[in-house]
């Protein structure tokens, strides 16, 4: 990416972060996993903080009470002092063991509590990590209710959601700090995570395991909406892509389905049924806020740049540059804007 483009993305993310109600940290917890973990963290910090202050206190007192000047003889404690020293060291070791065991027990208790919480989820979403984006598939017992989107995950507030985590290529890691801790995903081995958002909000998650050059642009944003907004969103996502209305949009759809785009991308309701699962489903592309997993805002300008020169936004991305005649390019962009 050229410097001005980088600066734009940086500045827009800084400005956007100003709109965020929730900073992307564990302490702004919005769900039980993050909340329990944050409480445990504060407890650990308090105990270890007290010990730290005590140790430093003893160190400074010892430095303050220096031995008399000119005393070069080695220290030979009196029998009574030696006995006191043994008691002091013995007690210190005892207290250390008690504290460590208590902290271990506490971690175990919190872990058990959260394992108990994870039972009986009400919803299931499959999230597959790809280099460098997330495939998000809403599962259901009713096949017609299943749909796929990318990078932006919507969930209803107060619902226990089971995330089935998969990797299509290398090791990735899912981390949504406001909702839960990290979970690494090893290719060929499914992982699980249960999340519940207890309030509405936009919670920014990301890949937390270095997975190649564009690891930094692998955002996974969670939109926690009210049940009714979520249902409306899901209903719209299940629909096929809207039919183009103008001649230019129709031409754009033809460019999409007959040119290179359809080799990888799916647009439900068109001939672009996709031959590879290594590219996002674009049926409702314009319902998403960003493109390329947070690499750029989802505007007509950036989308155009992404088509003809993806490496200017995300060097090394697996999306190849698509050379198009000027008219086809205009038509394609017009068509993509209809994918609401």
Residues in contact with ligand CUA by the rule CB under 6 A: 129, 132, 172, 207, 209-211, 215, 218
CB of 131 to ligand CUA, least distance (A): 7
Q: For residue 166, what is the enclosing H or E element?
A: strand 161-167
CB of 164 to ligand CUA, least distance (A): 17
Nearer to ligand CUA, 129 or 252 (CB): 129
CB of 214 to ligand CUA, least distance (A): 8
CB of 218 to ligand CUA, least distance (A): 4
CB of 149 to ligand CUA, least distance (A): 18
d(C-alpha 149, C-alpha 247), whole Å: 27
CB of 136 to ligand CUA, least distance (A): 14
Nearer to ligand CUA, 153 or 270 (CB): 153
Buried b (16+ CB within 10 A) or exposed e, 251-277: bbbbbbbeeebbebbbbbebebebeee
Nearer to ligand CUA, 124 or 169 (CB): 169
d(C-alpha 216, C-alpha 132), whole Å: 9
CB-CB contact of 240 with 268 (8 Å): yes
Pseudo-torsion of CA 270, 273, 274, 280, nearest 10°?
Answer: 60
CB-CB contact of 289 with 297 (8 Å): yes
Nearer to ligand CUA, 35 or 215 (CB): 215
CB-CB contact of 298 with 290 (8 Å): yes
d(C-alpha 72, C-alpha 49), whole Å: 36
Report the side by side order of strands in the sheet with 147-150.
147-150, 133-138, 123-130, 161-167, 191-195
Nearer to ligand CUA, 174 or 307 (CB): 174
Nearer to ligand CUA, 177 or 252 (CB): 177
């Amino acid at each position: 990416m050229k410097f001005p483009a980088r600066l734009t993305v940086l500045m827009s993310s800084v400005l956007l972060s100003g709109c965020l109600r929730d900073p992307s940290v564990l302490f702004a917890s919005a769900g039980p996993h993050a909340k329990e973990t944050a409480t445990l963290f504060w407890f650990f910090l308090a105990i270890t903080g007290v010990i730290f202050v005590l140790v430093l206190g003893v160190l400074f007192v010892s430095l303050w009470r220096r031995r008399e000047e000119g005393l070069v003889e080695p220290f030979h404690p009196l029998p009574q002092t030696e006995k006191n020293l043994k008691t002091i060291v013995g007690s210190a070791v005892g207290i250390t063991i008690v504290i460590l065991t208590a902290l271990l027990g506490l971690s175990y208790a919190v872990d058990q509590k959260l394992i108990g919480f994870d039972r009986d989820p009400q919803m299931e979403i499959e999230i597959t990590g790809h280099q460098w984006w997330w495939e998000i598939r809403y599962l259901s017992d009713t096949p017609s209710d299943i749909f796929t989107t990318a990078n932006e995950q919507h969930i209803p507030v107060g619902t226990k959601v089971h995330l089935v985590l998969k990797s299509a290529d290398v090791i990735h890691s899912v981390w949504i700090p406001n909702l839960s801790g990290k979970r690494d995903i090893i290719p060929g081995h499914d992982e699980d995570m249960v999340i519940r958002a207890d309030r509405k909000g936009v919670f920014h998650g990301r890949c937390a395991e270095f997975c190649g050059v564009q690891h930094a642009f692998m955002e996974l944003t969670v939109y926690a909406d009210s049940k009714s907004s979520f249902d409306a969103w899901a209903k719209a996502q299940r629909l096929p892509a809207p039919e183009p209305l103008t001649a230019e949009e129709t031409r754009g759809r033809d460019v999409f389905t007959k040119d290179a785009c359809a080799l990888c991308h799916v647009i439900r309701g068109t001939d672009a049924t996709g031959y590879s699962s290594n590219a996002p489903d674009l049926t409702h592309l314009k319902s998403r806020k960003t493109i390329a997993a947070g690499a750029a805002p989802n505007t007509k300008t950036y989308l155009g740049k992404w088509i003809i020169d993806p490496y200017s936004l995300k060097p090394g991305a697996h999306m190849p540059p698509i050379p198009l005649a000027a008219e086809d390019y205009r038509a394609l962009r017009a068509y993509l804007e209809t994918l609401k």
